[in-house]
């Protein structure tokens, strides 16, 4: 790529990374609601859980579409390599998202006799999507290699990311609900916290061991000093979240925003660490963003479109969260 356009791959890698992070946080909490769904048998509470994500869930998935779209148009060769290697988990992810979306709508319209089936479908779709994303993350960290070790690690990251989604989903319920459901959500968050911690530690250990280049980026000087704030801040967030979840029932609803925000901070810190570790590679150990980038002329045209599209997506996302701020109100379809 010529020097005049050398900055474009970095811009598109940054936009794609931002889209993935926003997706993980926003769709993460409503996937977490689906994972937590069967933990209460109270039908009224289940309806409340659905109502907390009713105005948001479909818009949240826009960020996944944007991230995959940017990968396709800006890094087409990498898109083919990554999705070919992850064909099966991608299929499971898409099937889970479709099942989840259909069940979300149908449970509101279905006869009471069939509602339980759609409730189970909502849980199953959320679980499938979460496990598939965690499995893909593990395989990606292991260099897209399907060995016995990488598959075991990917299964661990699948469970831990699912727990992370349950944690942020519980944080969302703490923020949006009151009384018994909020109390249950606090208990769910306490249980999900530890498996999420295991997942972050596992990824932190496996990443430098799987790739000597990442090991060098982490533990050479002065990089190790510059990166020190990431694990320190992550530990502080975990400790604060543990304290808040233990004290929240006594503190009252005034601090109900803390668990969700602390979990978002944890997700962001983990993602920044991963992004730093793998950059400039878009296919781990094989292809950089500069090697995989589309022609400069194509990137310029795509960037012009992104300048208009991205603010629109950010705008209506922010507007929806502003309009439906505050505690839960009744979900209506008429």
pLDDT value of residue 1: 53
| Residue 98 lies in domain | 3-323
pLDDT value of residue 131: 95
Q: Does residue 182 belong to any structural domain of this protein?
A: yes
What 3-state DSSP class applies to 281? strand
Q: Does residue 330 belong to any structural domain of this protein?
A: no
pLDDT value of residue 117: 87
How confident is the model over 293-324, as pLDDT tens digits?
A: 888 888 888 888 888 888 888 888 888 888 88
Q: Using DSSP, how many helices (H) and how many strands (E) does the chain show?
A: 15, 2
Terminal CA-CA length for the chain: 54
Q: Does residue 290 belong to any structural domain of this protein?
A: yes
Q: Does residue 170 belong to any structural domain of this protein?
A: yes
Q: Does residue 206 belong to any structural domain of this protein?
A: yes
Q: Does residue 332 belong to any structural domain of this protein?
A: no
Question: Which residue, among 143, 135, 273, has the nearest Cα to 200 in the 3D structure?
Answer: 273
Q: Does residue 135 belong to any structural domain of this protein?
A: yes
Question: Which residue, among 273, 183, 169, has the nearest Cα to 229 in the 3D structure?
Answer: 273
d(C-alpha 93, C-alpha 111), whole Å:
28
Q: What is the pLDDT along the chain (334 residues), one digit of tens a residue?
A: 545 567 888 999 999 989 999 999 888 898 999 999 988 888 888 888 888 888 888 888 888 888 888 888 889 999 889 988 899 999 999 999 999 988 888 887 777 777 888 889 999 999 999 999 999 998 998 888 888 988 988 898 899 899 999 999 999 999 998 888 888 999 999 989 988 888 888 888 887 877 788 888 888 888 888 888 888 999 999 999 999 988 887 777 778 889 999 999 999 998 888 888 888 889 888 889 998 888 888 888 888 888 888 888 888 888 888 888 877 666 555 5
Q: Does residue 328 belong to any structural domain of this protein?
A: no
Total domains, the chain: 1
| Cα 290 versus chain centre, distance | 26
**CB distance 317 to 33 below 8 Å:** no
Contacts of 113 (CB under 8 A, 6+ apart): none
């Amino acid at each position: 790529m010529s020097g005049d356009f050398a900055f474009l791959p970095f811009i598109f890698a940054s936009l794609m990374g931002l889209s993935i992070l926003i997706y993980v946080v926003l769709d993460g909490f409503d996937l977490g609601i689906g994972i937590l769904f069967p933990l209460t048998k109270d039908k009224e509470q289940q309806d409340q859980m659905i109502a907390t994500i009713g105005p948001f869930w479909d818009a949240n998935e826009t960020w996944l579409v944007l991230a995959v779209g940017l990968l396709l148009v800006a890094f087409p060769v990498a898109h083919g390599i990554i999705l070919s290697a992850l064909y099966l988990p991608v299929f499971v992810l898409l099937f889970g998202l479709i099942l989840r979306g259909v069940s979300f709508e149908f449970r509101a319209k279905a006869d009471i006799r069939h509602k339980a089936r759609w409730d189970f479908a909502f849980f199953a779709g959320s679980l499938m999507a979460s496990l598939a994303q965690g499995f893909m993350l593990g395989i990606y960290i292991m260099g897209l290699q399907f060995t016995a070790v990488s598959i075991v690690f990917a299964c661990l990251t699948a469970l831990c990311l699912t727990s992370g989604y349950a944690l942020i989903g519980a944080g969302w319920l703490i923020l949006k609900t009151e009384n018994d459901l909020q109390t249950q959500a606090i208990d769910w968050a306490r249980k999900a916290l530890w498996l999420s911690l295991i997942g972050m530690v596992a990824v932190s250990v496996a990443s430098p061991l799987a790739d000597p280049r990442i090991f060098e980026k982490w533990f050479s000087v002065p990089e190790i000093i510059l990166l020190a704030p990431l694990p320190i801040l992550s530990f502080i967030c975990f400790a604060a979240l543990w304290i808040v979840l233990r004290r929240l029932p006594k503190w009252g609803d005034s601090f109900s925003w803390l668990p969700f925000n602390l979990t978002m901070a944890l997700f962001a810190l983990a993602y920044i660490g991963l992004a730093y570790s793998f950059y400039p590679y878009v296919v781990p150990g094989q292809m950089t963003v500069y090697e995989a980038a589309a022609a400069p002329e194509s990137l310029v045209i795509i960037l012009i479109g992104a300048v208009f599209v991205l603010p629109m997506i950010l705008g209506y996302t922010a507007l929806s969260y502003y309009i439906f701020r505050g505690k839960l109100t009744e979900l209506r379809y008429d």
